[in-house]
Structure 1
Amino acid sequence: MPSEMPSETTTPSLAHRARTNIQWFTNKHMRQVSRLNAKQHRVNMMTAENWSIRDELVDQYKALFGQHLSPRHLSYADGMGGDAELLQAASDFFNRVFAAHSRVQPAHLVVGAGCSSLLENLLYDICEPGEGVLIETPFWGGFETSFVLRSSVTAVHVTPPSDGIESGDLDHLVSVYIDAYERALRHAPCRIKAILVCNPHNPCGHIYPPTVIQALLQFAQRHNLFYISDEIYALSTLDERTPFTSVLSIDVSALGVDLARVFTLYSISKDLGSSGLRLGFGITQAHPDLRLSLAISNHSRVSTFTSLVITALLRDTETVDTILHQNRAALQRSAKLISDFLAFHQIPFVPPAAGVYLWARLGCRSSSRPGDEPSWDDEARVNDRFEAAGMSVGAGQGYCASEPGWFRITFAIPREELVEGLRRIEQVVGMEGKKWTA
């Protein structure tokens, strides 16, 4: 006799790790999820995308796609680690533009669906669950997603010298800067496997001078750590007096550092304004096992259509250089506009040396108690007012800022949206009596 059907259907359960990940993500990023699901148009000064050269890039991509598309581009990529032609074009690009000291070979590269995907795979390969990575605060909140969801890696915070971060002048602070890393390592709640250095920095926008990079490399060598260099904003510099130095350009062997512990991340998302194409590069020049593991986990993750247009673009060195020059000029104009606005209203901010955003203390006057410093609750209330005004900025608590009131503001958006966003900032933080003119 057949068994009776259950009176109610039961939804099949998720694995414990999936339930844990959902709970962590919603607790951490509910505001962003709500914003993504919202229907109304808003001025988005939160997402670090680069709109500065979109029109030029669209024209280029249309032309390149039409010129180079062939039947083979409807197949899977033809090599481990990425399309062979893309790997060659990218290695030539890094050797030329990043001035690599040890030449980057195609066999040193792995392509993935953006830097975040590659970082997640990297941490999975070098860390056991529960181990940690040293990372300077404040830092981009998305890093924690790469740390936690798959690899169960702990972000161990390094609090750097505050005057160095706020002034952007790190050069004279090397010893106290390294002391901060040593202190974080000593007090870490878990075994540390790597340091993650975001250069240029997200969200502060400063560029690390060679002396600091060299000292951090030697710190990693002393403590047998991987050195991960996220250089996604490398070519979006804003001031020729503050040049960018890639870890690829440094003779690490002269510092007594093993090249096998150095890993570099780069992407087309920021400097080439193409975050939606989802293409990043991981570079390991002396660790073939790591390269192979990353190639396995990223195999066929990047569309051959994306590989096609980026290969063609990187091969055209004159066009690439023109686009990068146009990008820097556009970013400089936008950075000056928002810097002038903040200076006019006497809002503290860190002058950005690179990137598509700046770090400003929009909540410096938000304390519910006149004369007091703002609290985290005050910062949250200001952020709620921004959302109610139809705009989004990145509140400092989401970047593990050391004090309340700081916000990351993206300025690489169309000028009319940037001006409108600044007008709304005036309204939200109570500046109506002192009008700024663009």
Structure 2
Amino acid sequence: MLSARGRKLIETPPNVLLVGFNLWDKNRYDKDSNPTGIINLVTSENKLVFDVLKNKINEEGMFEDMPEEYSQYFGGLQRFNQLVAEFLTERMKTVKPIDAANIVSMNGVTSIVAALVQVICDEGDSILIPTPFYSGFLGDLGVIPRVKACPVHLSSQCGLSRNSWELTVDALEEALVQAKKEGANVRALLLTTPNNPLGCVYSREQLVSYMNFTKRHNLHCIVDEIYMMTVFDETIEHVSALSIEHPPDPERLHVLWGFSKDFAVSGFRSGVVLTESRDVLEALNQMGLFFSQSTLALWLLSKLLSDKDWLDRVYFPTNRVRLRAHYDLMTRFLDSMSIPYVATGTGLYVWCDLSRYMREKTFEEEDRVWKALLKAGVLVAPGVGFMCAEPGWFRIIFSIPNDSLEVAFERMRSCLCELTESECGMFDQVLSVPAVEEDLASAVVSVSVAGQSEGTDESLEDLVLLLKRKIAETDWLEQQTAALNESKSDGHGQ
């Protein structure tokens, strides 16, 4: 019945994030009607400013003079594109004013990515993407364009000359060489800044170095800036790719942006691509009919963009304050649980390390922790869904109402403590063997000395956690388990 293409679509295993989403969709948490349901901390939506948006949209005159025409066949409503050009020129601090003729708007950045990749790549080509990356890119590239994502694996480990999860040109070069060895035809580099899921922003120097890399290898450089206005830390500056003076290869530079994150209107489905390539613009415009937007949505968004006073004095300040407050709630919870995380000041989420609740650092154990949290009624995003090379990392959304977030924290605390206690049971049983008490004392001393050498003031709880982590990183537990079994066979430990 289906074509080979259709058959491939239904035979492709769903991403773990989609599996979790479908389970949540059938059992959504509601404090009144379904208090035992699942709380969604996966979907990257901003639910903190709905009241502000509703008040604005309900103002008198918002629907006056709405055009009675199709939203677009070739690139979008002219008035809408002009307003977007003016807005992004100001917010991105572009080197020169954005020409509305260089904008193509479609029904969301998902469609923008699919359409752009369709016109710059052939079927079977590859695109470099630093990992961990937004899982939706796999579908954006694979479903329609049939293009492959070629991961550039980053590391959480800090070195003398680099930071945690830092993307370097050396890493890009190595990934490109490896991809070519495997027969891939790499056509582009896809970046996200602020990054999803890491939350980091690329500096001006970093962006220039990445652009030089793509020019050197004749690659397109795609920069997704959909989280541009979610920066809530005043010490952090979002640097747009369009603010770079004299970009190395402007014809192959394509910048993406959408309303979903910055304006908290995911359901409006509206995104844009900005490019100076006339060929790319013409090809994208030919695809406009298949990715058209609602005239009603475009009109309302145009009204929002037109009211600069409301944006500057009400919406964006309120959004930043609320994002900051909820980020603080999330990080205080993580700190209380001694859970490491990437400290940021952007986005709607936190990237954190739950590997201490895993018996070993494997993706099977990551899946076990994910399922335990899901069973407890909290849906979070495991790192495997972001093509992360290191097991144990999770992305957790904080941009939901306070009451739901607090319930999620309590469920997570209870679940993670149970995971810890179940491991402590086996841990304590092993430590009860008299023959290994000396080894334990030695381990405690070595850990204590290590903590003192780093100038830390460890509490007993911190020391125990550090000890467990050290044991988990070695074969000590396996050795002592063997000792326990031997002692039992000798009649000891009864």
TM-score (norm 2): 0.78
The alpha-carbon deviation at position 102 of structure 1 amounts to 2.7
* Aligned AA (1:397): V
Residue aligned with 1:136, SS = strand
* Aligned AA (1:219): F
The alpha-carbon deviation at position 192 of structure 1 amounts to 0.6
**Does 2:3 correspond to 1:18?**
no
CA 1:412–1:164 in structure 2 vs 1: closer, same or farther (change >3 Å)? farther
**Does 2:123 correspond to 1:123?**
no
In 2, Cα distance between equivalents of 1:62 and 1:239: 30
**Does 2:336 correspond to 1:348?**
no
Query: Which residue of 98, 105, 120 maps to 1:104?
Result: 98
In 2, Cα distance between equivalents of 1:243 and 1:62: 33
The one-character-per-residue Cα deviations of 1:101-150 (angstroms, maximum 9, x if unpaired) are 13211101111111111001111111111111000011111110101111
The alpha-carbon deviation at position 29 of structure 1 amounts to 5.7
Contact 2:200 2:344 in 1 (8 A): yes
Stretch of structure 1 that moved more, 75-84 or 232-241? 75-84
1:187-198 to structure 2, matched below 5 A, reads 187-188=178-179, 189=182, 190-198=184-192
The alpha-carbon deviation at position 72 of structure 1 amounts to 2.5
Q: Which position in structure 2 is the counterpart of 1:263?
A: 254
Query: Which residue of 308, 311, 324 maps to 2:299?
Result: 308
In 1, Cα distance between equivalents of 2:66 and 2:240: 37
Residue aligned with 1:72, SS = coil
The one-character-per-residue Cα deviations of 1:333-378 (angstroms, maximum 9, x if unpaired) are 11111111111111111112310001011242221xxxxx332111
CA 1:356–1:406 in structure 2 vs 1: closer, same or farther (change >3 Å)? same
**Does 2:70 correspond to 1:68?**
no
1:153-192 to structure 2, matched below 5 A, reads 153-163=147-157, 169=163, 177-188=168-179, 189=182, 190-192=184-186
The one-character-per-residue Cα deviations of 1:11-67 (angstroms, maximum 9, x if unpaired) are xx1111011011115366661353255134221101000012111011112227x43
Higher helix share: 2
Residue aligned with 1:313, SS = helix
CA 1:169–1:244 in structure 2 vs 1: closer, same or farther (change >3 Å)? farther
In 2, Cα distance between equivalents of 1:377 and 1:78: 47
CA 1:34–1:68 in structure 2 vs 1: closer, same or farther (change >3 Å)? closer
Residue aligned with 1:374, SS = coil
Contact 1:132 1:153 in 2 (8 A): yes
* Aligned AA (2:341): F
Contact 1:127 1:153 in 2 (8 A): yes
Q: Tell me, which stretches of 5 or more residues in structure 2 are unaligned?
A: 30-37, 422-460, 462-494
Query: Which residue of 22, 38, 44 maps to 2:40?
Result: 44
Q: Which position in structure 1 is the counterpart of 2:236?
A: 242
1:113-152 to structure 2, matched below 5 A, reads 113-152=107-146
In 1, Cα distance between equivalents of 2:74 and 2:284: 9
TM-score (norm 1): 0.88
In 2, Cα distance between equivalents of 1:338 and 1:421: 10
Contact 1:207 1:353 in 2 (8 A): no
Q: Which position in structure 2 is the counterpart of 1:333?
A: 325
In 2, Cα distance between equivalents of 1:61 and 1:327: 16
Residue aligned with 1:319, SS = helix
Aligned residues between the structures:
407
The alpha-carbon deviation at position 77 of structure 1 amounts to 2.5
For the pair shown, the structure with the greater C-alpha radius of gyration is 2
Q: Which position in structure 2 is the counterpart of 1:53?
A: 49
Q: Which position in structure 1 is the counterpart of 2:81?
A: 87
In 1, Cα distance between equivalents of 2:365 and 2:116: 37
The alpha-carbon deviation at position 252 of structure 1 amounts to 3.1
Q: CA-atom RMSD, angstroms?
A: 2.3
Residue aligned with 2:257, SS = strand
The alpha-carbon deviation at position 161 of structure 1 amounts to 4.8
